[in-house]
Structure formats: structure tokens, C-alpha cells
Amino acid sequence: MSGNSARLQAIAAITNYKPLEPRLNFAKIATGDLFNANVFSPAIMKKRLPKWVYKSLMRTIENGDALDTSLADIVATAMKDWAIEKGATHYAHVFYPLTELTAEKHDSFLTPSSDGTAIAEFTGAQLIQGEPDGSSFPTGGIRPTFEARGYTAWDVTSPAYILENPNGTILCIPTAFVSWTGEALDKKTPVLRSMKALNTHAQRILKLFGHENSAMVVPTAGAEQEYFLIDSNFYYARPDLINAERTLFGAKPPKGQEFDDHYFGAIPERVLGLMLEVERELFKLGVPVKTRHNEVAPSQYEVAPVFENANVATDHQQLLMLTLKRLAPKYGMVCLTHEKPFAGVNGSGKHVNYSLGNSTQGNLLDPGDTPHANAQFLVFCAAVIRAVSSHARLLRASIASAGNDHRLGANEAPPAIISIFLGDQLTDVFEQIKHGEATSSRQSGTLTIGVDTLPPLPKHSGDRNRTSPFAFTGNKFEFRAVGANQSIAGPLMVLNTILAEALDEMATRLEAAVAEDPAGLHQAIQTLLQETITNHEAIIFNGDGYSAEWHHEAEFTRGLPNLRTSVEALPELATPETIALFEKYGVMTPRETTSRLEVKLEQYVNSIHAEARLVVEMARTTIYPAGMRYQGELAATAASMQAIGLPFDRTILDKVSQLLSGLQHSITTLEALLTHNADSLPAEASHCGKEILPAMGQVRHDADELENIIADDLWPLPTYQEMLFIK
């Protein structure tokens, strides 16, 4: 089938689309019983486990007590019986390697016996530990290829769940993944370590405020996932989407997102059908999705959960992406989570809402009605300011990737400059502290609309700022720069660690002051807050992060880092300061830290190399031949007209010939750059960013110009206006 036929048949298939038949039996599970229906939750454990076993597990889950492994056989039996009742024949240790993806190893419950039958077995040892290959995943040099052993370890704090398939169900057990030498090969293990460090130093602050025996402080997270949905027929007619999940070619359509008509618009029927099924499946898995809506770009959407424990939120975020991608084909669509699948329209991020708290004090970043008088909140908020200011470069590096480079700094994403938006109320409070002591807080008030039939609305004390990469939004911070394709584990691990450091340093100061003067805590807090805001106020910016003026002010007046690309940002992952930070707080060893840089650099290089090879292939085998055919048609027409003495305007023919010549030259240039062999990963990454990416851009420029000229019936690839607007 020719490319042209594939494109036209894709359009025909979509325009002949028939409305969906109902796919779900809504009466099967009552709405109230849907949530956690497939989760081995605390409620299920309470019913199925002996009381003393249940209480021991809950002490581990809720208080961070050491896991009593002697209970494993009892838990494993109860978990197996529950899973088999739900139709499970296999169990899987689910883990999160450094690929940013989810991995799983499946094993059967059935064990053959000597009499020719089989029995269902699942022991405590099988629950606690699995053994996938430890060298076939990215390790950053931790494990040589010939040394293969690695272990998965049961994470009791993230509940097991049942994954349904039309042909059966699987018991899925979230696990950590470590090497034979005990080093972390995954995303989960450092997150759990960083949560432990954060709790340790948050407890010191709470103790200073008189809270003895406080419940464990945990960071909480909720990641708003943006994604695109396009028809499967278009997807399979685009080799770049299949292989790179982004379009490497494509001219700007006549209409884009400038009308703002898609954002929060009515959700198309087919898309809504998918959303409803995705949400029901996620509810059954205990994922607390709350919000759905159209996003800004055509064919772009968002789903957002409510807050939960950061470790569980990380696992659930991976489940959310998997569920979207797994179910979209049932509705004739493909889900794209790449940060920038379509040039010229908004890309996709993952806005990670972040806070911390416990069951006794609640949300520690809730300012209350009078934040100026809430000293405990001010200390925790100041710790976040101090952490982000001190480690802005590391925070930027935590969200660096080849995909996110296409999005950061564009008009739908924050700039690469890390800054904090506090809003009017908190900015005013900290300004008062800087110049003495805060004595008042701006009040929220009421918004009167001026229509008698509409109620007055409570008005927040400050506006929001969508251009800020790190914004305070009422009772939490929102890290808006995280990429849509990225695991939130890396950014959360960094946030937890730098906040633990800030709380550690602040607690040490306050403890010393109280030891010297037991009645001097209030004054010590005022002095500490004043010093913190004075030393770190440069990071606070409430204005337009998109403006050229801000970029100049941030970089040259305030001295904030502006690491525009991954090549600039990634080395921050393994500076001596970063290595010392993670080692001090027990989050990663020096070897584990440097391995992350190696993995990230390798992923960056591999991504760009794969895309560049794909650009060469598509340009040479698909786009150039289409251009030659059109050139041939034009030349034949010119010859025919000249033969009968009619004039022929060669403008288009000359333009096509010029673009084809340019395209051939740019392809050859890109091919030559791909033969480059640097002597190190950083050098090759630099070559990719500075040489290969611009060369890819030139090939695309020539090809996109051809798309705007070549006869429509000859153009082989589905166009932007077709992919984004035919639903």
C-alpha cells in the first residue's frame, strides 16, 4: 500500500466512524463500591489477616516501623486466596527501572505435584523477593552486562492490586528493584529513602513547636497528566509517531489553538467514552482521579487525581499512563504522552502538586486564614523557599529530557529558569518579615458578580500564575515543569531531599537557640525567617515568566541559573554538591548518584540518534519521492504546454526543484553528523544538542515547505489538520 493510499484510507476510516456501543456493564459494580475494588487495601487486610498481623503491617505502613518479615507467609496466603477468588492465575512483581517506564515479571501460582496435579502456592519468600535480570535494564555502570542478578523487594506501603485482562487477572505487587550488591536500580528505592529523611527532620521542627510523638510526616503528591489522543489510523500511517511518539515532520495547519475553542470545551463522544472507562478502571485500582477536561491544544486532554502519599502517588501515576495507553486502542485511538508530539501547538506536562503533612497536624503547608500568625506554616514554607533557591540547578536537572527540551520555555510551559510564585498574600507576609515582623495577612474577601440570581463567590487572597515553574496554590506547591512522559519519582526524590536538608539546617539553628534560651523560640524563628527571605528572595517572582524581560532580569540581575537544554542541565545530577547531598541524607550512594547521570545522558543520546535516523529514513523514502513525483508532473505539464506553444509559469516548478535540492543536501548533512563518535557520553550529548538537532530541524524545514506546495493527492503523510481536527 502506498503512503498516499494509507493516508486517504485513514481519513476514510475515521469519517465513516460509527458511534460506540456501550462497553461497560454499569450495574455490575455499584458506584460506591467501585473504589479500591481490585486493591488488597487495609480494609481487605483487616478482614483477612489475624488482628496482630494486621496491626503490625499498619504500623509499618502508617508509622514507618521496620517490616516484620516473619509475617510474610501469613500475608502471602491471604493475598493469594483473595487474588484467586478474583480469578488470578499469576502474580507479578511490578517495579520501576531507570527507563521511566513500568516493568513486571509474571509467575504462575500453580506448582506441579508428583501425582500429576498442580496446587496453587504463594509463599512469603515469593511475596518478599523476586529475581528479574539486573543488567538488561539501565544501570549507569552499576552492573556490567555479564553480571545479571537483581532483586525485587515487596513494598508493603504501596498496596497490591488485581490487573484485569479479558483472558484472566494478575495479582500485581509493587516492589523496589536493587542489584545483587544492594544498590538501587529503580525509581522507587530513592523515593522511599528520601521520604524517610524528610520525616526525620520534619519531626524535629514539629517537636520545637511542642508536638511530641507526632505521626509520621509524609510528602503528598498529585500529578495532573496531560496527553493527546489521535485516531489509530493516522498513528499507523506516521512512522515518526510509531517510533518516536512525536511528529518529526508536519507543516503548521491553517488553524491551530489560537481560537481557544478546545480548552474546557465539550468533550467529544468517543473521547468521553474512553475517559469514563479509564476512570472506572483506575477507581478499581485505587487511583483517586478527580478531574477531566479538554486541554488547550486541539486533541489534548488532562486527567488529575487528588493528593496521596508520594510513593503511592508515583506508582499510581505510572498506572494511570498505562491504563490510558492500554484502553485507547479499544476506542480506535492512541494516547500520546510525549512532551511535544506536535510542533507549533502546546505540548504536555505533568503538573506535580506537592505538600507534606501527617494525621495529627494535617497539611503542614496550609497557611490558614492568618498565615502571618502561623509560625509553624511559615517555617515549613520558608524551608521550601530555601530548598528550591539553594538547589534550583538540581531541580531543573530532575526534569531534563530530550522530550521536555521541546516544551520548556514555550508558551504552554514554564521557562527553564526555576522560580517560585508565592502570590500576593504570602509575598506580603514575607515582605513584612523581611522588614521586621509580620502583623497582618491580606484577606480573601468575596467576589460579587452583579447578577442577583448568581451567588457571591469566595475570592482567594491571590491570583494564580501559570507561567511559574514552582507555584504556591493555596495549600501546596505545584511543580509545573515536569514532563508528561516522565516518572514523577525523580522530581519527588529531589524535592524530598532538598527539603529535608533545609529543615535539618533550620531545626539545627532553632534547637541551638532554644538550648541557649528556652524562652527564645519566637525570636529565633523571626530571625531565621528574616534571614531566609533576605538570602533567598531572588527566587521569588510573581510576574510573567514568558517575558523576555524576566529572562534578562533572572539571569543578569538576580543571578538565577537558566539551563535551557538537557545538555546544560544534566551534569547537575552528579556534581560534588549533589553527590554529597544525597549521601548525607541516605538517599543515594555516590555510585548510585553518578549512575543516574550516565543513564540520563545515554537516554538523551539514544533518543536523538533514533529520531535523527528516522528523519533520514522518512525524508529519503517518503517525502523526497513524493516531491520528485510532483516535480515530474509539473515538468511533464510544462513540456506539453510548451510543445503546443502555450506559456507555462515555472515558479512552482522552480520552487519544488529548489526545495528538493535543499532537502537532499540537508539529509546528506544529517547523515554525516550521525557518523560522529565522541570519546564520552557528555561529549556525544553535546554533539547531539548542538549539531544533530539543528540539522534535523533543517531537514524538517525543507520537508514542511514541500508539504505546503505538493499536490494534496501526492502528499504521503497524515497532516496536522487531519490528525488534530478529524475526531
514: domain CATH number is 3.30.590.10
- Inter-CA distances, 234 with 9, 10, 169, 238, 332, Å: 9, 6, 32, 7, 10
User: Bigger pLDDT: 146 or 467?
Assistant: 467
Single out the residue in 546, 573, 603 at which a domain terminates: 603
The DSSP-derived string for 393-460 is HHHHHTT--HHHHTTTTSTTS--SS--EE-HHHHHHHHHHHHTS---------EE--S-TTS--EE--
Q: Which of 96-100, 429-433, 646-650, 699-703 has the lowest mean pLDDT?
A: 646-650
Q: Answer with the one of 552, 587, 603 that is the final residue of a domain.
A: 603
148 found inside a domain: yes
Neighbours of 505 (CB within 10 A): 17
What are the grid coordinates assigned to 633, written together? 508532473
Do 372 and 515 lie in one domain? The reply is: yes
**519, containing H or E segment:** none
Beta bridge partners of 175: 154
- Domain containing 630 — which CATH number? 1.20.120.1560
Indicate whether 578 belongs to any domain.
yes
Please indicate, yes or no, whether residues 169 and 218 belong to a single structural domain of this protein. no
| pLDDT (mean) for 675-704 | 96
Q: State which of 603, 622, 641 marks the end of a domain.
A: 603
Dist CA 307 CA 293 (whole Å): 18
Within this chain, do residues 329 and 441 fall inside the same structural domain, yes or no?
yes
- The Cα diameter of the chain in Å comes to 106
pLDDT above 60: residue 638: yes
Whole-number pLDDT of residue 453:
61
Confidence bin at 25 (pLDDT 50/70/90): low
C-alpha to C-alpha distance for 68 and 152, rounded to whole angstroms? 17
Considering the domain architecture, whether residues 583 and 698 belong to the same structural domain is answered as no
- Note whether 649 and 673 are same-domain residues: yes
Examine the domain organization and report whether 395 and 250 are in the same domain: yes
Position 133 scores a pLDDT of 80
Q: Give the pLDDT score at 467.
A: 84
What confidence score (pLDDT) does residue 462 get?
64
The span from the CA of 165 to the CA of 723, in Å, is 30
pTM of the entire predicted model: 0.94
- Do 491 and 479 contact (CB within 8 A), yes or no? yes
Examine the domain organization and report whether 435 and 373 are in the same domain: yes
**Residue 53 grid cell:** 498481623
Q: Is residue 7 part of a domain?
A: no
Residues 496 and 612 in one domain: no
- Provide, rounded to the nearest whole percent, the portion of the chain with pLDDT above 90: 76
Q: Residue 681: which domain range? A: 604-725
The whole-number average pLDDT for the span 11-28 is: 63
Q: SS3 for 596?
A: helix
* 3 has a pLDDT exceeding 50: no
CA distance 581 to 677: 34
Which CATH number fits the domain that encloses residue 101? Answer: 3.10.20.70
- Counting the structural domains of the chain, the total is 3
CA–CA distance from 96 to each of 138, 143, 170, 186, 487 (Å)?
Answer: 11, 17, 18, 5, 9
State mean pLDDT over 460-482.
86
If asked whether residues 310 and 372 sit together in one domain, one would say yes
Higher pLDDT: 339 or 5? It is 339
Please report whether residue 29 resides in a domain. Answer: no
Q: Which pLDDT value is given to residue 15?
A: 64
25 inside domain: no
Residues 213 and 131 reside in one and the same domain? no
85 CB burial (10 A radius; 0-12, 13-18, 19+): exposed
Tell me, yes or no, whether 12 lies in a domain.
no
166 and 300: one domain? no
d(CA 195, CA 218): 7
d(C-alpha 299, C-alpha 277), whole Å: 18
User: What per-residue confidence (pLDDT) applies to 255?
Assistant: 82
The CA distances from residue 128 to 61, 70, 91, 98, 708, in Å, are 15, 11, 12, 21, 59
Q: For residue 16, tell me if it sits in a domain.
A: no
Q: Count other Cβ atoms within 10 Å, centred on residue 652.
A: 14
Residue 2: inside a domain: no
Q: Judge whether 74 and 50 are in contact, CB under 8 Å.
A: yes
Grid cell of 693 as nine digits: 538537532
User: What's the rounded mean pLDDT across residues 623-651?
Assistant: 90
Confidence band, pLDDT 50/70/90 cuts, at residue 454 = low
Q: 419 and 380, same structural domain?
A: yes
